[in-house]
């Protein structure tokens, strides 16, 4: 039985929720939040199952990164994990590209002044945004991999959790419905919400008020209902490539999991 699992993220696929709400609700599981693989203890035969979870293992959201950074970062961390714990298993979540880019941008824009969506898109290479390539890279290093889609958690959470618990060899938490109600790490999407969030972050940093810092994004997100949220526009050629990549990924994940995920393909989502 596998004793150690690495949850690689990705960012903005409910990773914080898994870390703080779901994994700790499982019996006989210890959760470690770190991206320092060299500091991960390898559990012995009598130790509880260990889940190492950190979105930073799959890549970076920084505005300052260069195109290609995320692909290189993932490959590097997979090598480190393989060297440290070759018999471990991998958990990895993906999210539809446009939705993911918007969430990633907003996550940084809620704290950072002077950001724009076009400039942020330029920090990624096409390879960074190929989820199919990322999955194949992971599967090239590890035999035991559980891929899932963020959209499953949104639309069919009980089915996703059943599959995930089966992979982990654990029973679902008895209070799963309550666990699913918790939302973590919201980011404002409107310009007004981001302005408020950035301003509050500046105040909290200057005053060292940690409680305010923890709630800046939530306060900003509360304004979104009153203001226009601009779409994350993509160049037509990139949009076409990412649409194909997403639909291919849905098919691959469905094959790996033995579950019909076709309603989550992009054309089906658009029809709905």
As a three-state string, the secondary structure of the chain is CCCEEEECCCCCCCHHHHHHHHHHHCCCEEEECCCCHHHCCCCCCCCCEEEEECHHHCCCCCCCCCCCHHHHHHHHHHHHHHHHCCCCEEEEEECCHHHHHHHHHHHHHCCCCCCCHHHHHCCCCCCCCCHHHHHHHHHCCCCCEEEEEHHHHHHCHHHHHHHHHHHHCCCCCCCHHHHHCCCCCCCCCCHHHHHHHHHHHHHHHHHCCHHHHHHHHHHHHCCHHHCCCCCCCCCHHHHHHHHHHHHHHHHHHHHHHCCCCHHHCHHHHHHC
Confidence of residue 125 (pLDDT cuts 50, 70, 90): very high
Residue 33 lies in a domain: yes
For residue 272, the model assigns a pLDDT of 39
pLDDT surpasses 50 at 40 = yes
For residue 112, the model assigns a pLDDT of 82
For residue 172, the model assigns a pLDDT of 95
Residue 150 lies in a domain: yes
- b (16+ CB within 10 A) / e for 72-111: ebbeebbebbeebbeebbbbbbbbbbbbbbbbbbbbbbbb
What domain range includes position 161?
Answer: 4-182+245-271
Confidence of residue 113 (pLDDT cuts 50, 70, 90): confident
Residue 27 lies in a domain: yes
For residue 188, the model assigns a pLDDT of 81
Residue 236 lies in a domain: no
For residue 107, the model assigns a pLDDT of 87
Residue 197 lies in a domain: no
pLDDT surpasses 70 at 207 = no
143 burial type by CB count under 10 A (0-12 exposed, 13-18 middle, 19+ buried)? exposed
Instruction: Decide: pTM greater than 0.85.
Output: yes
**What is the total count of domains within the chain?**
1
Whether the CB-CB separation of 90 and 74 falls below 8 Å is answered with: no
Residue 204 lies in a domain: no
For residue 271, the model assigns a pLDDT of 40
Instruction: Please provide the average confidence, as pLDDT, over all residues in the chain.
Output: 90
- b (16+ CB within 10 A) / e for 186-217: bbbbbeebbbbbbebbeebeeeeeeeebeebb
pLDDT surpasses 70 at 208 = no
pLDDT surpasses 80 at 269 = no
CATH code: domain of residue 80: 3.40.50.300
Residue 105 lies in a domain: yes
How far is CA 4 from each of CA 86, 126, 170, 182, rounded to the nearest angstrom?
10, 32, 13, 26
Residue 115 lies in a domain: yes
For residue 226, the model assigns a pLDDT of 87
């Amino acid at each position: 039985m596998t004793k150690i699992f690495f949850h690689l993220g990705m960012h903005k696929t409910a990773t914080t929720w898994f870390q703080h709400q779901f994994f700790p609700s499982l019996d006989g599981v210890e959760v470690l939040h770190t991206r320092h693989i060299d500091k991960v203890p390898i559990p012995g035969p009598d130790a509880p199952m260990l889940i190492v979870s950190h979105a930073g293992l799959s890549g970076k959201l920084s505005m300052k990164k260069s195109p290609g950074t995320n692909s290189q970062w993932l490959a590097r961390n997979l090598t480190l994990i393989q060297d440290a714990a070759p018999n471990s298993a991998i958990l990895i979540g993906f999210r539809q590209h446009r939705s993911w880019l918007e969430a990633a941008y907003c996550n940084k824009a809620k704290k950072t002044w002077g950001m724009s969506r076009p400039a942020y898109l330029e920090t990624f290479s096409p390879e960074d945004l190929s989820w199919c390539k990322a999955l194949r890279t992971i599967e090239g290093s590890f035999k035991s991999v559980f891929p899932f889609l963020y959209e499953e958690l949104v639309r069919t959470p009980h089915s996703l959790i059943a599959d995930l618990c089966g992979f982990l060899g654990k029973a679902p938490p008895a209070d799963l419905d309550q666990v699913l109600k918790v939302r973590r790490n919201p980011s404002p999407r409107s310009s007004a919400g981001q302005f408020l969030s950035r301003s509050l972050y500046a105040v909290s940093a200057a005053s060292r008020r940690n409680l305010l810092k923890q709630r800046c994004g939530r306060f900003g997100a509360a304004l979104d209902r009153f203001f226009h949220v601009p779409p994350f526009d993509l160049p037509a050629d990139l949009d076409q490539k990412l649409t194909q990549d997403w639909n291919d990924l849905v098919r691959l994940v469905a094959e790996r999991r033995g579950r019909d995920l076709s309603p989550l393909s992009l054309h089906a989502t658009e029809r709905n």
